Structure 1
Amino acid sequence: MLFPQSQLLLRNLNDLQGKVLLVEPMADDLAQELTRAGVDFSVYCTDAAVAKAFSRANACYFAARLETTDKFDTVVLFYPKSKEQLAFTLAELSAVLHTDSQIYLVGDNKGGIKSLVAHAAKFGLHAHKLDNAKHCLWFALTGLFAKPLPKQDFGRFKLSAQIAGVSKDLEFCSLPGVFNHGKLDAGTALLLQQLGHVQSGKVLDFACGAGIIGALLKLQQPAIELYATDICALAAASTTATLALNKLQGQVRCQDGLTADLPKFQHIVTNPPFHTGLKTDLSVAEIFISQCKQHLTSGGTLTLVANAHLPYAQWLQTAFGNVKELARQQGFVVYQSKFSG
């Protein structure tokens, strides 16, 4: 399976000269196609599923930061979901370029790449459209070697939230590309109000983002043993920084879904993702819900927030045999299921 962005890249295969670096590609079969074509490629990505898909690359730099002394002749950047992340990633690329490096960007027409020319100009760079197919665009970008963007550090933000009826203030860290970067979204705010039952034991903040849920729970109940996971290295790094900033203890892992090496939890709490890239992908949440029982102790709970129109209640009932609606507001619903095994 190939996403349209990968198909457009293969259509422009002749542009991939010398040592090639793919930046934030999609989790598909592109690696196999490039290997068959004899392309000398490496990957820089912040997504655990992408890292797994590109394990056959010459090198896979799977981390929030691009740390290598290698230089690349061709760099292909898959246009990110946020313009803030574009600036962050371009800044990371400066160190791997040489005078003659060629940079290309590929992206879905609906993902913001149509405004690349104007956006690049704000950085003092020039973007030139080369191809248009598969509802995607292929651009060349020039000027980054001569005018590198400054590297970005964690943003530090403040919020106030109600958690189990108690108002809490939190200072947290976030990198561009993390879900709802620098803000407390309405769904998470509603979820926090329903977490009074989380008082002890091992607790998992799944899809932790910037670590807001886990940090507030730990501040509220210092005795809990906190774990936090996210598929995104930017999120895992942000959560680690948030916990450190607040002098809180917790285990943070960057991984795709629930893995066998995780312990059993008394509570799992989450505002789960339902997108893969730009596309709605409900299978992520459905698989997560179906696997949760294996990671809960007897009497353990799964509490999550979801958009009201999504079929989470049905999946929870199927998986656990029970589901309770705890709150409903602004198009969001908080559900809870208990494992009686």
Structure 2
Amino acid sequence: MSPLPVISRRRFAGSLAALGAAAGLGATAACGGPARAASGGQSKVIRYQGSVGTVLPLELASSLGYLGDVRLDWIGNSISGPQDIQATVTGDTDIGGAFNGAIIRLIAAGAPITSLYGYYGIDSTIWSGFYVREKSEIRSVRDLPGKTIGANTIGGQTEDVLKLKLKQAGLDEDAAQLVVVPPVSAESSLRSGQLDVAVLGGPLRDLALSRGGIRPVFTDYGLLGTFTCGCDVMRDKFIRDNPDTVRTVVAGTAKAVAWSQTQPRARVVEQFARIIKARRRQEDDSQLKFWHGYGIAERGAVIAEREFTVWLDRLVDTGIVGRHQLSVSQLYTNRFNPYASRGAT
């Protein structure tokens, strides 16, 4: 079995800078094409990437009829949050979602994007754990220095949660080594000994636990509590040029999230199953039986300041972002969301 590749922080930082520099070109290029609106009008087509076997809040909104005359154009599936928002920056899509820490990194690199609403999070039923084999000598976070930990991507939630936990324990944030592992391979890599620790969440976590022989060192829910972790973003130019469309998309998606937060779970899962069947992408919908919610903390996907400050403060403390380089107000807005309280930014 071949060794797992170690994540290169320098290479990732370089790609962010390049994307930031190219952002203006990507935003301009994205305005053309046969699927776009007629000259002088606002676009009524939103290009996006999906996720295999799951239903995004945006897709739920469309299926419930909450997007009015705005049509979704699926261009393929994303491989990770950072890749998804990078596609938005370069103009390949009009909207993308990622972990809030990844969004901050990209904006700090010069990408002209803004977060519009929360699209996933964690709570008491929706969380990820840092798992080890049952007989592992790793008992706490203090045993992690020098160990290898599987992550699906750099700059994502796994990395920042890990580093926040290490810092709380008084340890060097780079004490543990991250390696790139596709989520579907994480459990087998852990059990075979390729990894010391594997991050498991959702259906993959439940399946792994059903087979026994593993235990968590800590969980992101134990660290953060109920917390919206990621947002959907759009390019600032797209927002300026298409304010009515953006308002429709945000308001409709917020309404869909609120619907999912208040309906019986069985009804939501039934709606998801219909969506997956209707889009005809040859997907396995078996993981829907493990769905318990989006984990979004606020009603209607409203963004709370804390959901960005916790990661911005960490990135400033480590020097990844300059102390006066960004303010929280540059990262997100609730002005298009009808569920936001009066006076929200």
Q: Per the shorter chain, which TM-score range?
A: under 0.3
- For the pair shown, which has the larger CA radius of gyration, 1 or 2? 1
TM-score between the two structures when normalised by the length of structure 1: 0.25
Q: Which has the higher strand share?
A: 1
Where relative contact order (Cα < 8 A, 6+ residues apart) is larger, the structure is 2
Q: Which has the higher helix share?
A: 2
